[in-house]
Structure formats: structure tokens, C-alpha cells
């Protein structure tokens, strides 16, 4: 495993997202949500609210565009996940002889996006990184993805071969490898702390283990996928820049296109081991989150749909979680809140959202307020803990700075 790497991003010095844009100012500067939500235990909702970007609580947000495409925003940093902007009626290629038709339009078009800082791509599949996006994206734009996706995106042969086809700023993370985003130019809080985001690659399998997985590895039909932990925290400005945060103010888990496989059981173990190590190294300075559980997943964004290839009329192989597997993952990871995505956009999705809602209802009363459902164009707002309290960090040697 490679050491933790670092990326320094200044939202005030963005580059254009699209090749056709001369500067970030060419893009719309604000993205309006049709409705905003907070935690289901809160009654605060509103309509036509601007995308969160201020320092006032709640100071972070997730905006749902469609399929697995979201915008995660905090302290001016905007992360675009799995960009897919095809329209209803368009088709994607998902493997040898396998196509799917888009059934729903995204909430906004690609050219309607506000300035973005980073693309977080779970895997190189056309329903997550479509041909329109591949054609239009600025070749110098920052992308974080899998080693397989990096190989595809940086290969002239695979992205056009026209002399300017390869992407030049792709960073790959293998399972449990991490990248720290330092938000340069951001404002300090009253304790001289600055916002930091840590991205950690999580395990996932897009095909069932066993003979089918072995065959897929030979054929390369379905690409490998990552899940992600996205940890947000306030870091003392005087801290060593090679110190990864260990006490996140908010932890998001994005499942990626995975099935419910044994490898996912390593996720809670990994989080507990990391936090236990942190407490041993900093027994006095370490502080925990408000409820005393520093291993908690605050928000799980789960990819559902029960994707079945080659298509709904010729069922062959399910390659993403259906409703039943989705609730099994909820039981395993026990997130404070779950947000389903990737459930009705394509013709190969055979497990609709209503099935997931039924499964959640059958889980019992304790889960009722622990799922949030966003329509396209809606936004979930949340607050990052820790801006008013000291948090601890642990050093890791031999880190690499980009």
C-alpha cells in the first residue's frame, strides 16, 4: 500500500471544468436546489435554496443530480461524483454486447454546473463517466479514481488518440489508500483551524466472487470499482502538513457499484483500527465526536438498482446491490443516515426504490428516521463537527505531496 498522498486545492483559483470554457467564470456561479433537507429528525426544509457554501451551520451539503451523480460541498470545495449527464433515451455501453437506455433526465445539464474542484469517480463505466463527459471535460481537471480508471483515462488509445485525448491530472487510489485534500485559501475558524478532507478508497466488487469473477477478470467486461470514505475535519493550521486527520467532523461512505460481499465487512474494522491507533498515539489530545463514537459513519450514500446485465429482458447477472442487499449493508455499517442513489435511471436497474422503502419499513421503527430520500435537484444540508473544539492528528512518515 502506498503512503498517504496530499493534494492542495484552492477554490479561488479553479480551472474550468469543461474544455469549451475559458475560465470558471464562464460557468453558472450558483446551483439552486428545488428543495433542501436536513436530518429527518429535524423539521427544517425549504425550497429554491442556493447550494450550501457559507460557513454558517449547516455548512456542508450533498446535491443529487441523478443516477450516482452528486455534488458534495464544504467550505467552498466542490466534489462532483460519478458524472453522468446523458438524457432519457440515450444509451450507454456497459460491456461486450451490453447496452442500457437512460430513462430519467439529470437535474441539470453538464454546462449548467457551477465551478467544480475535483471529480471523484468510483469506476470507469459509461453510466458513471459517459461519453459526453469524456468528450467535454478539461484534460487538466483533477480526477480521483481507481487504478483501472486511471489507465483508461490517461491512455491516448482509449480516450481518442487525437493528440489531446488523455487526461493529465488523474490520481488513483487502491483499496484503503488515501488522499488528503488541503483547502488552500479557506478561512480559519476562531481557533486557527483550517478545513481538510480525506478520501480513502474502500473495497467493492462489481461482480459476484467465484467463477464469474475469475471469468470477468479475464474478459475485462465489468470494470473494478471503489467505494469511498470522505472524511471532513478542521485541522490546526500549525499542524504538520503530512498529518492525516484522525478525528473527522463528518464521515461519508459512498458504496460505489458493489454487491454485498464479504470484503465490505472490512470497512467497520478498518475505521475502528484507525481510530484505536489514533487514541493510542494521542491519549490526551484526542477528542471524540459529540456522541462519543468516533467510528461512526454519519452518511452512507448507497448505490442500489439491482443492476442486471445484459438487460431486463435477458437477465444474466446482478452487479449492484438490490433492495435486500442495501438493507443488509445498513445493518453491517450502521450509518446514522442512509441516502439511496442509482436506482431508476437505466433500463438495467431491476430493483426500484419502492422495494428499498419496503425493506426499510420492515427493518422496524428504529430505522424510520435514518433514511433520507432525495429527488433529483434536491439537496441535503449538514453540519461539520469540530470547528469549536480541538481535534487531534497523527503523523505518518514518507508521505508524498502532489
More confident call, 341 vs 318 = 341
| CATH no., domain 5-401 | 3.60.15.10
- Regarding beta strands 193-202 and 227-236, do their DSSP bridges make them parallel or antiparallel, or are they unpaired? antiparallel
More confident call, 24 vs 162 = 24
Reference 77, options 53, 59, 56, 49; nearest CA is 53
- DSSP letter at 262? G
Cα 149 to the center of its chain, rounded Å: 15
pLDDT of residue 245: 53
Once rounded to an integer, what is the mean pLDDT over residues 144-171? 85
* pLDDT tens-digit series, residues 230-257: 999 988 765 554 454 557 899 999 999 9
Domain residues of the chain, as ranges? 5-401
pLDDT of residue 194: 83
How far apart CA 51 and CA 79 sit, in angstroms, is 13
Q: CA of 272: how far to CAs of 7, 263, 293, 295, 332, in Å? A: 25, 16, 10, 6, 14
More confident call, 138 vs 186 = 138
Residues 6+ apart with CB under 8 A from 127: 67, 68, 84, 92, 94, 100, 345, 346
Once rounded to an integer, what is the mean pLDDT over residues 356-379? 96
pLDDT at 290 over 60: no
More confident call, 363 vs 190 = 363
Once rounded to an integer, what is the mean pLDDT over residues 56-64? 85
Residue pointed to by grid coordinates 467510528: 295
Once rounded to an integer, what is the mean pLDDT over residues 268-288? 73
What are the two backbone dihedrals, phi and then psi, of residue 20, each rounded to the nearest 5 degrees? -75, -15
Cell of 305: 438498482
More confident call, 343 vs 157 = 343
Once rounded to an integer, what is the mean pLDDT over residues 181-200? 79
How many Cβ atoms sit within 10 Å of the Cβ of residue 72? Answer: 23
- Start-to-end C-alpha separation, the chain: 17
pLDDT of residue 44: 47
Residues 6+ apart with CB under 8 A from 154: 166, 167, 168, 170
pLDDT at 389 over 80: no
Q: Say if CB 143 and CB 167 are below 8 A apart.
A: yes
Once rounded to an integer, what is the mean pLDDT over residues 271-297? 69
pLDDT of residue 368: 86
pLDDT of residue 274: 86
Once rounded to an integer, what is the mean pLDDT over residues 353-362? 97
Amino acid at each position: 500500500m502506498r503512503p498517504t498522498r496530499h493534494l492542495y486545492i484552492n477554490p479561488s483559483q479553479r480551472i474550468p471544468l469543461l474544455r469549451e470554457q475559458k475560465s470558471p467564470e464562464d460557468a453558472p456561479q450558483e446551483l439552486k436546489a428545488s428543495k433542501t433537507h436536513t436530518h429527518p429528525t429535524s423539521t427544517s426544509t425549504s425550497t429554491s435554496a442556493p447550494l450550501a457554501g457559507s460557513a454558517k451551520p449547516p455548512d456542508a451539503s450533498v446535491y443529487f443530480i441523478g443516477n450516482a451523480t452528486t455534488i458534495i460541498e464544504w467550505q467552498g470545495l466542490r466534489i462532483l461524483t460519478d458524472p453522468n449527464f446523458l438524457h432519457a433515451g440515450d444509451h450507454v455501453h456497459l460491456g461486450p454486447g451490453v447496452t442500457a437506455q437512460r430513462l430519467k433526465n439529470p437535474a441539470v445539464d453538464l454546462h449548467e454546473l457551477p465551478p467544480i474542484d475535483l471529480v471523484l469517480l468510483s469506476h470507469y463505466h459509461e453510466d458513471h463517466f459517459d461519453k459526453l463527459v469524456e468528450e467535454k471535460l478539461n484534460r487538466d481537471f483533477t480526477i480521483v479514481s481507481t487504478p483501472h480508471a486511471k489507465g483508461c483515462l490517461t491512455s491516448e488509445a482509449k480516450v481518442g488518440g487525437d493528440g489531446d485525448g488523455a487526461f493529465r491530472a488523474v490520481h488513483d487510489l487502491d483499496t484503503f489508500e488515501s488522499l488528503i485534500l488541503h483547502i488552500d485559501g479557506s478561512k480559519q475558524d476562531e481557533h486557527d483551524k483550517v478545513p481538510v478532507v480525506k478520501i480513502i478508497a474502500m473495497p467493492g466488487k462489481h461482480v459476484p466472487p467465484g467463477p464469474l469473477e475469475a471469468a470477468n477478470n479475464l474478459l475485462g467486461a465489468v470494470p473494478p470499482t471503489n467505494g469511498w470514505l470522505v472524511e471532513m475535519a478542521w485541522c490546526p493550521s500549525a499542524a504538520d502538513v503530512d498529518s492525516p486527520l484522525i478525528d473527522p467532523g463528518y464521515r461519508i461512505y459512498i458504496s460505489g457499484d458493489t454487491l454485498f460481499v464479504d470484503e465490505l465487512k472490512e470497512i467497520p474494522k478498518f475505521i475502528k483500527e484507525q481510530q484505536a491507533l489514533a487514541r493510542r498515539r494521542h491519549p490526551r489530545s484526542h477528542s471524540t465526536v459529540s456522541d462519543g463514537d468516533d467510528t461512526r459513519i454519519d452518511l452512507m450514500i448507497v448505490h442500489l438498482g439491482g443492476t442486471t446485465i445484459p438487460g431486463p429482458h435477458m437477465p444474466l447477472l446482478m452487479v449492484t446491490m438490490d433492495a435486500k442487499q442495501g438493507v443488509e449493508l445498513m445493518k453491517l455499517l450502521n450509518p446514522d443516515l442512509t441516502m439511496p442513489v442509482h436506482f431508476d435511471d437505466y433500463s438495467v436497474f431491476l430493483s426500484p426504490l419502492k422495494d428499498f422503502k419496503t425493506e426499510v419499513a420492515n427493518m422496524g421503527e428504529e430505522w424510520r428516521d435514518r433514511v433520507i430520500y432525495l429527488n433529483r435537484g434536491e439537496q441535503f444540508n449538514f453540519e461539520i463537527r469540530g470547528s469549536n473544539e480541538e481535534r487531534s492528528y497523527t503523523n505518518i512518515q514518507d508521505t508524498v505531496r502532489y
